Each structure stands twice: as structure tokens, then as C-alpha cells.
């Protein structure tokens, strides 16, 4: 179970410069079950944020505590309410249902409820009557039940407990613990058996307003200690409480914590919890996840994105090794591999073009995860239950001497919901003993979170690649040699040359990964300017005349005109490459056209020098209408001969190291 705080304010939203850290949206709590069900509690303005985090299966369940404005005002702006492909289950008392229908009658929102296009299903809830969360087809979500409980609030209301996924989550809604023994005993009863509680703590002793229907935070802390709560989160902040005031409260709570007592936290928008796990304050996913996703959003190239996700997943789980499998047809392809025991992370690029494939079947661990969508957290792959359809393949271990023990397999998906691939992590290590151990439930949740959030970034990268392929297809209509595989190979060789060059220059691994992701895509567009050259020249099966060669040279400036720099790293790099990839180290090359003179040595932009070497190699080893393909060794000999003349000598040295990868690149991107 994953619990995410989407809104933590009470009474009225107050997003301002004074509430940026803890958040200004009114109450909304998101719960994701292990089977993927989306459950929401209350529909304050925090619900509006949920539009950015909707699941692919297009179904959700919203439970209302009561119908005061701060708990319902986000409902009209929730996209699934207006989407006919969505099913939205609304759970409320009969009185709250009537109030909601009145609110949606067209007087307070321009679109009346009967015009909402979503498939909306009403459910009546009663205190003490357990609700089994079901799918649109009426199939119960295994092991997940929501228990409505009577809350003390003017006009009545509910609190809720979620039972399932080995944990218990409690949400109080608006609830007042009046300073009486009976009220305190009632609060303790609500909290018994709870792993995580998010509660209404609008007041403190200094500003408590009796009979307003809200509690003092001190009453919740005392009740949680008696009830044995694992983690208590104080929410429904009074609207004017600033980040500074809530920081002071958080520091006070930290000083109040007792050994064996509840973890005490101030609610903050975006915080994530995984009951029954008790969080540590400094290790909340919300502390590192936004920063990581923000840095990852700069990337546009799929393999670099997968490399970063794999590296981060290993970091947060302590995994020694890992592999990203990408689904292609009826197979899973090894897209990226890390293994600290066999090779260092800064040489993992050498294993990025593995041609290993496994059938997409239930017989392998990764295949089972891909087909069923089931997360597999296996403590020891050599002691699997006898009744499972999958088995551990020990071929890799036998050939390398490695010993795989614990495995965590998590699927990830395209935006449309189809399987994109599988992230497999191997051998988590205990941070104290260093020994291999099972992946913890918290580690599993973090990786599931990464896989889910990274989907949007992968989708943006896919859109950019599709755009590049459209441009290449346009160029290929003029020049038969300008194929997608040719561009892929030039981009791949250029990326690996930069990797080796960056390693030798002592550049940080993160910078190498980013620049490598840019040059891979930018180099693919090196010859896009050929769309402006006549077919008679491009397809001529003989040598070009001087006049024809003059025209051919103009493809560099034409390409630069198409890829005019826009301030985006990839676009600016593509512009430099298109314009200068026919420059030569000794100054005898060209940029083409007037106003673009010859450059010498390091005055030629590095991406253009790298692409020039990659492009020439591929041209030599690929068949053309005017020549046969050269053997790799012959092409490499010519590259060596041109060191210091056509090519940067330092890059020719890098090519020697990349040379062993070249057959794998050509196998990965064949002309056929």
C-alpha cells in the first residue's frame, strides 16, 4: 500500500509564498494498493493535482468524510468526472450524496452533474459497515477493505480505515477530540491497530476553539502513544499556518518522540508512506524523488533514461546488479545492464548493446512479470516455491561465476497501458553487514514508484525520437543511404565515443550520461540537409563532378538552417553537427556555403568531430550504390591513417577502445 498526501490544508486553500513547502491545497489523500487500485479520500483542491498522476486502467474510488466545501471543491475539476472512458466510484452517506448532487446542480459550477461524461457510480456507506473495493466489473480487489467510522464533527461525518496489503491506514477526516476522558478513549479506539494515521490537527492548545469540529494536535499525539500507532501525521493545517510555523511544530514533534512510540510528522503535500513500514524523517521518498525526476526530465534519449533509472533503483535498494529489459514483439531484450561485482558502473556502457533476448513467456522471472504485471520480490531464486510457473535461469551465473540470490522484478508501461519492459534488480545488500539480503518492502515500493513516475519521461523521449524519424524518413526519400539504421548506428557510435572521451577527461558520470544522451540523438540528424539536394546528385552511381560536389556541400548549411539553434541542448548540438561534420582536423574540410569558413583542430565543435568519425566509419563499412562494404579492420586502418589529418587524434584513440563494441552496434541496428 502506498499513501500520498495531495492536500493538507483545512477550511480554505491558501497556496502562497508562505506555504510553498508544506503546501496550500485542501484535503485529499491518495492510496494505491499493491494490485494497482486507486482510492482517494476527500476531494479538496488537492484532488486537482491528481490529474497529473492518473492510472492507465481508468478507474478510481473516492470516499467522502463529509460535504463541507473544503472537502468537495476539487471534484468538479477532476478530469475522470468528465471522461467517458473512466469509471469513478463515489462513496458517501445518503445525506452527503444529496448535498453533493445539490452542489453539482449547476448553480455553483457551470456544468450540471447530469452533463458529466464520466461513468459515475454511487455507493452508500454506513458507519461500521465494511466496504470491499471492487473493479468496474464487480471483481473485488484482493484483500483491500475500507472501514467507515463515525467522526465527531458538526453535521456528522466519517473517518476511514483501510485494511489490506499487510498494513492498516487511518484517515480521520474532520474530527474533534474534546478534552474529556470519553472523547480521548474514543480517539484511542479509532487508532488501535493502525500503522499509519493522517489526522485533523488544525489546532494546538494555544488556539483551540471548542465545538468547531477540529482537534488539538497534542490530543492526537497522546492518543497515538496509548494506541500504539506506528506513524502519526498531523494534517488539516489551519490555513494561515506558515511554513515557518509548521517547521517549528515539526522540530517540537521530533523532540517529543519516544523509543518504541509513534513516528511524529507534520503533513506535507507530496509525502509518500508505505504502511506498515514506519518511515524515517530524513529518508522520505518526497525528499529525493522530485529532485531525481527533475534531473531526469532533461533527458530525451531512452537508453540514457533507462540507465539513470536503473542506477537510481540500485542506489535506493542497495542492489549489486540490475538489468532493464525492453519488450519488443514476443521477446524481452536486454537494454541496459549494471553489475558492480563484474564491471564498474562507468564501463556499463560496454554492455548496452547486448543482443541477448529471451522469449516473452511465463517460464522466466522477467517474462512472468511482463505478462502478468506482477511484481516479484524473491528472497532466493534457488528456493522458489514448487507451484510457480517460472524458474531461475542460471546460465549467466555459470558462465561468469556470479551468484544471483535475491531478485526484485518490476514492470513498467507505456502511457497507453501496454507493457514497455521490466526492471530487474539483483542481490540487495544489508547496509550494516554488507551481506546479500532480500529486498525490503520499502525498497520494493520505491522501485515501483520510480517505474511509474518515469513513464511520462520515457513517453516524451519516445515522441522526440518519432519526430527525428519523420525527419530521417524525409531525407531517405532523397538519399537511399540515409536510413534509420544508418542514423541509429552513427548516433550510437558517437555516443560511445563521447563516453570514452568523457571518462578519459575525468568528467562526472552524470554529465557524461546527459551529454551522451544528447549527442546520440543530435548525431542522427547530421545529414538531414540532404532533403535540399537533387536526387540526381544523391543517387548518382558514379563520381560527382566539381559542380555537383559544390551543390552536395550545401547540405551542411541546409541542415543547419532546418536545425536552427533554439536554446535546447539537443537542438543546438544538432545544429553544430549538421553544419560542421565535414570539417577536418587539419583544416581542409568544409562547412558548405558562404559565411562558414574552414575550421582547424579544437575550433571544430567536439560533437561535430565525434560525428565526423562515426559517419565516415559507417559509410566505409556499409554498402553504397558506388561501392561495396569494407571489412571493419580495413575501415579502422583508414581511420588510423587519417588521425591528425581528417580526425581528432584523441578521438581516434577513443575509437580503439570503442572498436570492440562496433559488431554489437551493427547487430543491434542492421540495415535490414
Query: What's the pLDDT tens digit per position in 582-592?
Result: 999 999 998 86
* pLDDT tens digit sequence for 472-505: 777 666 665 556 788 889 998 999 999 999 999 9
pLDDT band (50, 70, 90) for residue 343: very low
Give the residue with greater pLDDT, 434 vs 71.
71
The residue with greater pLDDT, 367 or 517, is 367
Give residue-wise pLDDT tens across range 12-55.
Answer: 999 887 887 788 999 999 999 887 789 999 999 999 988 877 88
Which residues in 615-628 are b (16+ Cβ under 10 Å) and which e? bbbbbbbbeeeeee
Mean pLDDT is lowest, of 110-119, 171-180, 283-292, 657-666, for 283-292
| Res 626: pLDDT | 67
Instruction: Using pLDDT thresholds of 50, 70 and 90, give the confidence band for residue 348.
Output: very low
Question: Is it the case that residue 599 has pLDDT exceeding 50?
Answer: yes
Burial of 26 (0-12, 13-18, 19+ CB in 10 A): buried
Instruction: Kindly state the percentage of the chain with pLDDT values over 70.
Output: 89
Report whether the peptide linkage leading into residue 258 is cis, meaning its omega lies within 30 degrees of zero. no
State the burial class of residue 57 (Cβ atoms within 10 Å of its Cβ: 0-12, 13-18, 19+). Answer: middle
∠ CA 258-223-441, rounded to 5°: 60
Grid coordinates given for 556: 551542411
| Nearest of 41, 39, 30, 113 to residue 76 by alpha carbon | 113
How confident is the model at residue 346, as a pLDDT? 54
Q: Does the pLDDT at position 138 exceed 70?
A: no
Beta bridge partners of 26: 9
Mean pLDDT of the chain: 86
pLDDT in tens, 601-619: 999 999 999 999 999 999 9
**pLDDT tens column, 256-309:** 999 989 999 999 988 889 898 887 543 344 456 767 877 777 777 777 788 888
Provide the pairing of β-strand 272-273 with 263-266. Answer: unpaired
Angle subtended by helix axes 285-296 and 302-317, to nearest 10: 160
Alpha helices by DSSP H, listed for 554-603, are 555-562, 569-580
Query: Residue 30's beta-bridge partner residues?
Result: 4, 40
The backbone torsions φ and ψ at residue 373, rounded to the nearest 5 degrees and listed phi first, read: 75, 15
* Euclidean distance between CA atoms 525 and 520, whole angstroms: 10
- 442 or 310, which is more confident: 310
pLDDT-wise least confident of 174-178, 405-409, 625-629: 625-629
| Per-residue CA distances from 55 to 37, 289, 416, 453, 527 (Å) | 9, 19, 10, 11, 40
pLDDT at 595 over 70: no
Question: In this predicted model, what pLDDT tens digit does every residue of 55-69 receive, in sequence order?
Answer: 878 999 999 999 999
Stronger pLDDT, 424 or 34, i.e. the higher one: 424
**pLDDT of residue 126 exceeding 90:** yes
In this prediction, residue 226 has a pLDDT band, given cuts at 50, 70 and 90, of very high
What domains are there in the chain, each with its CATH number? 2-283 (3.60.15.10), 288-458 (3.30.450.40), 477-668 (1.10.3210.10)
The pTM of this model reads 0.52
Amino acid at each position: 500500500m502506498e499513501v500520498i498526501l495531495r492536500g493538507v490544508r483545512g477550511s480554505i486553500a491558501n497556496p502562497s509564498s508562505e506555504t510553498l513547502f508544506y503546501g496550500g491545497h485542501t484535503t485529499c489523500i491518495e492510496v494505491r494498493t499493491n494490485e494497482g487500485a486507486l482510492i482517494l479520500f476527500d476531494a479538496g483542491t488537492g484532488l486537482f493535482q491528481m490529474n497529473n498522476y492518473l492510472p492507465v486502467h481508468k478507474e478510481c474510488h473516492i470516499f467522502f468524510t463529509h460535504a463541507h466545501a473544503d472537502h468537495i471543491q476539487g471534484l468538479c475539476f477532476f478530469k475522470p468526472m468528465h471522461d467517458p472512458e473512466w469509471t469513478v466510484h463515489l462513496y458517501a452517506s445518503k445525506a452527503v450524496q444529496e448535498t453533493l448532487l445539490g452542489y453539482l446542480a449547476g448553480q455553483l459550477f457551470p456544468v450540471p452533474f447530469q452533463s458529466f461524461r464520466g461513468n459515475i457510480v454511487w455507493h452508500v456507506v454506513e458507519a461500521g459497515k465494511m466496504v470491499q473495493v471492487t473493479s468496474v466489473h464487480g471483481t473485488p480487489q484482493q484483500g483491500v477493505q475500507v472501514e467507515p467510522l463515525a467522526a465527531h464533527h458538526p453535521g456528522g461525518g466519517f473517518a476511514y480505515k483501510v485494511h489490506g496489503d499487510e498494513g492498516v491506514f487511518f484517515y480521520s477526516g474532520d474530527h474533534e477530540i474534546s478534552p474529556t476522558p470519553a472523547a480521548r478513549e474514543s480517539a484511542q479506539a479509532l487508532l488501535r491497530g493502525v500503522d499509519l494515521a493522517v489526522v485533523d490537527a488544525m489546532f494546538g492548545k494555544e488556539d483551540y476553539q471548542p465545538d468547531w469540529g477540529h482537534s488539538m494536535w497534542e490530543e492526537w499525539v497522546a492518543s497515538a502513544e496509548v494506541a500504539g500507532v506506528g506513524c502519526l501525521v498531523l494534517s488539516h493545517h489551519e490555513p494561515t499556518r506558515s511554513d515557518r510555523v509548521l517547521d517549528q511544530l515539526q522540530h517540537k514533534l521530533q523532540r517529543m518522540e519516544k523509543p518504541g512510540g509513534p513516528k511524529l510528522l507534520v503533513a506535507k503535500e507530496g509525502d509518500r508512506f508505505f504502511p506498515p513500514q514506519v518511515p524515517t524523517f530524513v529518508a522520505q521518498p518526497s525528499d529525493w524523488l522530485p529532485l531525481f525526476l527533475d534531473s531526469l526530465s532533461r533527458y530525451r534519449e531512452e537508453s540514457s533514461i533507462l540507465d539513470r533509472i536503473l542506477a537510481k533503483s540500485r542506489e535506493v535498494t542497495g542492489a549489486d546488479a540490475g538489468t532493464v529489459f525492453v519488450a519488443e514483439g514476443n521477446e524481452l531484450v536486454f537494454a541496459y545492464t549494471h553489475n558492480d561485482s563484474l564491471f564498474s558502473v562507468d564501463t556499463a556502457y560496454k554492455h548496452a548493446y547486448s543482443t541477448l533476448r529471451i522469449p516473452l513467456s511465463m517460464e522466466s522471472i522477467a517474462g512472468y512479470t511482463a505478462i502478468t504485471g506482477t511484481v516479484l520480490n524473491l528472497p532466493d531464486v534457488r528456493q522458489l516455491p514448487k507451484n510457480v510457473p517460472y524458474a531461475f535461469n542460471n546460465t549467466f551465473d555459470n558462465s561468469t561465476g556470479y551468484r544471483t540470490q535475491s531478485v526484485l522484478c518490476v514492470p513498467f508501461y507505456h502511457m497507453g497501458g501496454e507493457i514497455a519492459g521490466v526492471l530487474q534488480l539483483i542481490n540487495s545488500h544489508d547496509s550494516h553487514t554488507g551481506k546479500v539480503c532480500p529486498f525490503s518492502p520499502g525498497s520494493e515500493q520505491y522501485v515501483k514508484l520510480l517505474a511509474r513516475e518515469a513513464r511520462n519521461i520515457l513517453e516524451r523521449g519516445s515522441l522526440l525520437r518519432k519526430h527525428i524519424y519523420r525527419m530521417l524518413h524525409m531525407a531517405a526519400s532523397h538519399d537511399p543511404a540515409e536510413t534509420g539504421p544508418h542514423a541509429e548506428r552513427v548516433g550510437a557510435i558517437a555516443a560511445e565515443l563521447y563516453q570514452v572521451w568523457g571518462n578519459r577527461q575525468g568528467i562526472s558520470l552524470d554529465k557524461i550520461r546527459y551529454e551522451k544522451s544528447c549527442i546520440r540523438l543530435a548525431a542522427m540528424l547530421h545529414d538531414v540537409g540532404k532533403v535540399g539536394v537533387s536526387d540526381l546528385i544523391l543517387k548518382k552511381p558514379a563520381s560527382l563532378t566539381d559542380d555537383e560536389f559544390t551543390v552536395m556541400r550545401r547540405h551542411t548549411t541546409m541542415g543547419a538552417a532546418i536545425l536552427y539553434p533554439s536554446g535546447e541542448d539537443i537542438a543546438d548540438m544538432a545544429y553544430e553537427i549538421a553544419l560542421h561534420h565535414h570539417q577536418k582536423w587539419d583544416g581542409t574540410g568544409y562547412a558548405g556555403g558562404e559565411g562558414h569558413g574552414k575550421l582547424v583542430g579544437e575550433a571544430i565543435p567536439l560533437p561535430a568531430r565525434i560525428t565526423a568519425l562515426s559517419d565516415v566509419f559507417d559509410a566505409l563499412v556499409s554498402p553504397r550504390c558506388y561501392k561495396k562494404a569494407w571489412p571493419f579492420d580495413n575501415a579502422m586502418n583508414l581511420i588510423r591513417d587519417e588521425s591528425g589529418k581528417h580526425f581528432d587524434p584523441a578521438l581516434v584513440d577513443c575509437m580503439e577502445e570503442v572498436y570492440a563494441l562496433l559488431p554489437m552496434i551493427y547487430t543491434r541496428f542492421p540495415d535490414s
